[in-house]
Each structure stands twice: as structure tokens, then as C-alpha cells.
Amino acid sequence: MAKKVIDDECLNQFVSLLRQRGYTVVAPRAEGSRIVYGEVETGANFLREYINPQNSPKDFLFPRREELLSFTDDGEVIAVVPEAVKTVLLGVRPCDAMAVQHLDKIFNWDYGDIYYNRRRRNTILIGLACNKPDPTCFCTSFGNGLGPHQKENVDLMLTKLDERSYLVEAVSKTGEELLSLIACGAPGRPSHDEKALKLRERAEKMITKRLDVDTTVKVLDNNFDSDYWKDVARKCIGCGICTYLCPTCYCFDIEDEGTSRLRFWDSCQFTVYSKHATGHNPRDQPYKRYRNRVYHKFVYFKKNFDEVLCVGCGRCKLYCPMKVDIFKIVAEAEVNIVKLGRGGGV
């Protein structure tokens, strides 16, 4: 695949070119004290120095609230199809890019979701390698090559080589077409690849939090009824921040409001999430709801797709008001379940 080395000014020109060609460019930007993915008008608005924005690409592929259908007074049902907006998601970290691949599977599992797929078909991913992972990151635990420099899930990959330059690599055919539009810069050389490799190796060494996923899945699967879940869920207040900010959580509800049928995000941490029409709630206690979140990500999804529904981005702990740490809970499950000595055995 083709490669180029560009500087900040060239990158700014590239953003302007994308906008001239009709793309909405979404990238990490500052909103007050927060860093979020949002539309940028110039390359200067694109923040390069960050770990992960507070939100994720999920917001732009699976909106928090969207209209599915509308109704007329005479009973006609009108499907509402999302507008085909050409979008470039710029500066996507490898963990978020992997999360998009998970969403692709979810929304095309038993049927193709036309709302998600219309947006996805019109979205280009431009990644940014992570040279300085955060202490909350644990992306290298999940296989499939996932790590701070993984590039397989994007169309173009940017690697910041130094304060002045980026290595730009085309990963897909779409990426090659985009790269050909960049008139500035210089061809990539072997020395650039060598520098990128050293940066990758250094970044991977900085990630010290690791899970043994296969052992974890087995331990969890054999200990559903352990009192461990009551213990670890004590701090959870059921606010749902972890699910809303998670790049892979996808639960939603559908309701009719006026003459519209709406789909909007839901959370398995909410009290009424699993409440039946009869009034019975199989997850009537906070620990049951938090246990479901852990099992969905590390057991149920693994059985269905042979992958774990977590990419190690660390947002759930970083923004949790009670600092509930899913990594610690899962990593220490075997030792602590045995220590409690109650519930299912290992």
C-alpha cells in the first residue's frame, strides 16, 4: 500500500480538501474542558494530542436518538431513511476502530440494520496511532492484532513520527484514493517504517494491564452465581455512563412519541431495562445488572462471535463517578471467587 510523510500544514490542507469534496469531517476537538469527537471546519480544530475523546465513533454511526418511522392521521406508515451524509472520522484510535468492526457485526447479525448500514457505507475511517497509551488502557489483551498501532480496521492510518511529521499509510482501496489526493508531502521511506515500528514497540510496552481472555471467559462462565458479583457491584450507582460512553455497547429501546417511532440508546444498568410487562424484573438488583454487563462483554459475545465485546479503551473507569474498574473486576475474578468460596466453583 502507498505511503507518504506529511507535516501539520499538509494535514490541514487535507482536511480542507475533504470538506471541499463534500465530506463532513469529524475529529477530536475541544469543547470547554472536554475533548470530544465533533465536526471540525479546519485541520487546526483537530486535536492531535489526546488518548481518547470522551465519546466514540458510535455516536455518528448509531445516534443516541433517531426517528425510524412516522405516521399520518389516516394510518399511513412512512419509513424515515437516514440522509446519506459523506463523513470522514479523522484521528480514530485503534481501539475505537476495532469497536466499529464489532458494531458492524452486531448490526448485521440476524438482519442488516438499514439505518446503521446507510451511515456506515458513507463513512471513512482515518486512524491515528497511539504513541502514549493511558494507564487505563488495556487494548493489547484482546487478540486480532489489537494494539496502539493497529491499522487493519481503518482506511488511512496516521502515525506521528515526531513533532513535525506524520507517516500516512493507505490501508484500503478507499485509503489509496484518498492518499492520491494529498499533493503535498513526500514518499514514505524504509527509515520512516523503522521509526514507526520503534514507536509501536515502545507504546505496546507502556501497556502493562493484560487479561488472559480465554481463562477469564472460562472462570466467568463457571461462576455466574458467585457472591463475587454482589461484592464488586457495591459501588455501582446505575447511572449508565459506562454504557453510554462505551464504543461497543449498543442496547436501545423503541417508543412511539406523537406521530413518530423513535429508537434511542438504553442501558443494561437502568432499573427498568429488563422489567417485564408483568412487573417481574429478573435483574431487580444492581449486582445482577452489573453482572449482566460483564457477562455480555466477556462471555455471551465471545460465544456468539468468538470475540470479546471490549476494546480496552478505559473510558468506563475513567468517567465512572465511582471509579468502578471492569478490568480489575474481570482480571481478579478467579482469585477473588476462590477466596469468597461461595457460588459456582472454578
Q: What is residue 344's predicted lDDT score, i.e. its pLDDT?
A: 46
Contact yes or no for 316/245 (Cβ under 8 A)? yes
Q: What is the pLDDT of residues 242-277, one digit of tens each?
A: 999 999 999 999 999 999 999 999 999 999 999 999
Q: Map grid coordinates 447479525 to a residue.
A: 109
Burial class (CB in 10 A: 0-12, 13-18, 19+), 140: buried
pLDDT, position 48: 85
Identify the pLDDT of residue 345.
41
pLDDT at 278: 94
Question: Which residues in the chain come in under a pLDDT of 50?
Answer: 344-346
Return d(Cα 93, Cα 52) in angstroms, integer: 7
Alpha-carbon separation of residue 222 from 10, 145, 190, 219, 344 (angstroms): 54, 28, 49, 5, 6
Predicted TM-score (pTM) of the model is: 0.93
- pLDDT, residue 338, reads 66
pLDDT at 339: 65
Q: What is the pLDDT of residues 11-63, one digit of tens each?
A: 999 999 999 999 999 999 999 989 999 999 998 889 888 888 999 999 999 99
What is the CB neighbour count within 10 angstroms for residue 310?
A: 29
Q: Quote the pLDDT of residue 336.
A: 79
* pLDDT for position 292: 96
| Cα separation values, 302 from 220, 221, 267, 295, 306, Å | 12, 11, 20, 9, 4
Give one DSSP letter per residue of 95-141, joined into a string.
Answer: HHHHHHHHHHHHTTSSS--HHHHHHHHTEEEEEE--SS--TT--GGG
Helix (H) or strand (E) holding 190, with range, is helix 190-206
The kind and range of the H/E element at 165 are strand 165-170
